[in-house]
Amino acid sequence: MLSLQVKIMVRILVSLLLLIAIIFIGGCPALTEKKENNLPNSGLLALVNQTCGTRYYESNFPVDTRLFEHPWLVQFGYERELVVNYVFQGLLIHSKYVLTTVFVVQFQDFGQLKYARVGEHNTSTNTDCEKLSLLEETCAPLAQSILVDEVIVHPDYNMFAQINDIALVKLRVAAIVDGTAVAPICVNDDLNYQSSFLLVASWCGRRETGLSLVPKQYFMKPISPYECQRLMPRHSVSFANGMFCIVFDERHTNSTELAYEPNLRGGSGAPIYTVHDGNRILLVGLLSYGPRYPAKLHEPYVIIPVAPFYDWMTGVIEADREKHMYNTLI
């Protein structure tokens, strides 16, 4: 009879041969889809579906966002003594992966990061609905609260210099992606991409009023590194890997009422995005950090771009998929 070691080696060899045969006959799924997919960011899109960044609305960007306007926004739940508080956000880039900043995943004031709530819009209601007319309304499916399986911080993250401030949150089970209430955002992979048309979306607000019930949406504009450092004299701002600064656009800085002033308190991990080819939302960066509260309207926020980390993100997701495929074959 064959020894146990020999049996194990034979089994592994057979599994490897089977995997090679599958790739040879059917082609590597990710690479095949990447060649055939003409949508933006097809490399990452091949890992999710072919509807990233699709806009539900054709025009306008109201401050109080509408139902289905940001189906890629994910809110995080922190648990302590069976009490869960949902704050901060990330972006669904894959049915099992959410992109955010390191501050968000290491935040412990409310306990341990335990849940990711997908498909959320109005945090005050169980079922999110919006009126289409006096007699008609549309409603979204219930939000999905999914356990966090793993947190993957970028290996070169530096807390003191605030560089490489990016992390992936792996979900225990895949989110149910319907393309309307829940969908992945397109992720920029072009290191040279620039746009002056930028927005931010977040459940945010002043201490006096609390976090907004629905995500706020503000126009932002980029400023030069020199201007950013001048406006943040007490910070040594790093511009490594294309980090840049933004401030509120003038259309949001003329309010005479404090309650209506824009404020990004609670905005950590929020998306900085633009509209790309085919009226698609394209993720350009993440809100890394900003001025101490209460922030003045002219003070800048520091953004970490996603393009320099595109290969790292896709590498993590691909490696996990290949590991799962290998374990399934064995």
Residues 6+ apart with CB under 8 A from 321: 30, 47
Looking at the domain assignment, is residue 230 inside a domain? yes
- Note the pLDDT of residue 3: 56
pLDDT band at 134 (very low <50, low <70, confident <90, very high): confident
Question: pLDDT per residue over 305-314, tens digit each?
Answer: 999 999 999 9
CA distances to 149, 239, 276, 314 from 123, in Å? 23, 35, 29, 31
Looking at the domain assignment, is residue 40 inside a domain? no
pLDDT band at 276 (very low <50, low <70, confident <90, very high): confident
Ranked by mean pLDDT, the top range of 40-49, 67-76, 276-285 is: 67-76
- Note the pLDDT of residue 258: 67
Q: Residue 201: helix, strand or coil by DSSP?
A: strand
Instruction: Give the chain's domain count.
Output: 1
Looking at the domain assignment, is residue 34 inside a domain? no
Among 43-47, 202-206, 325-329, the least confident range: 43-47
Closest Cα partner for 309 from 160, 146, 107, 97?
A: 97
- Note the pLDDT of residue 11: 52
Whether the predicted pLDDT of 92 surpasses 90: yes
Q: How far apart are CA 102 and CA 90, in angstroms?
A: 11
Question: pLDDT per residue over 145-201, tens digit each?
Answer: 999 999 999 999 999 999 999 999 999 999 999 999 999 999 999 999 989 899 999
More confident residue, 232 or 294: 232
For residues 39-65, average pLDDT: 70
Q: How far apart are CA 260 and CA 64, in angstroms?
A: 11
CA distances to 24, 55, 309 from 108, in Å? 47, 34, 25
- Note the pLDDT of residue 8: 46
- Note the pLDDT of residue 46: 41
The count of other CB atoms within 10 Å of the CB of residue 90 is 27
Global pTM reads 0.84
Looking at the domain assignment, is residue 9 inside a domain? no
> What residues make up the domain containing 192?
68-326
Q: Residue 65: helix, strand or coil by DSSP?
A: coil
Looking at the domain assignment, is residue 30 inside a domain? no
Residues 6+ apart with CB under 8 A from 1: none
Supply 25's token pair. 């006959």
Looking at the domain assignment, is residue 7 inside a domain? no
Does residue 303 contact residue 245 with C-beta atoms inside 8 Å? yes
pLDDT band at 35 (very low <50, low <70, confident <90, very high): very low
CATH of the domain at 274: 2.40.10.10
Whether the predicted pLDDT of 2 surpasses 60: no
Looking at the domain assignment, is residue 38 inside a domain? no
Looking at the domain assignment, is residue 49 inside a domain? no
By percentage, how much of the chain surpasses pLDDT 70?
82
Enclosing H/E stretch for 70:
none
Ranked by mean pLDDT, the top range of 68-77, 232-241, 289-298 is: 68-77
Give the pairing type, strands 280-289 and 186-187.
parallel
Residue with tokens 């896709």: 314
- Note the pLDDT of residue 135: 86
pLDDT band at 218 (very low <50, low <70, confident <90, very high): very high
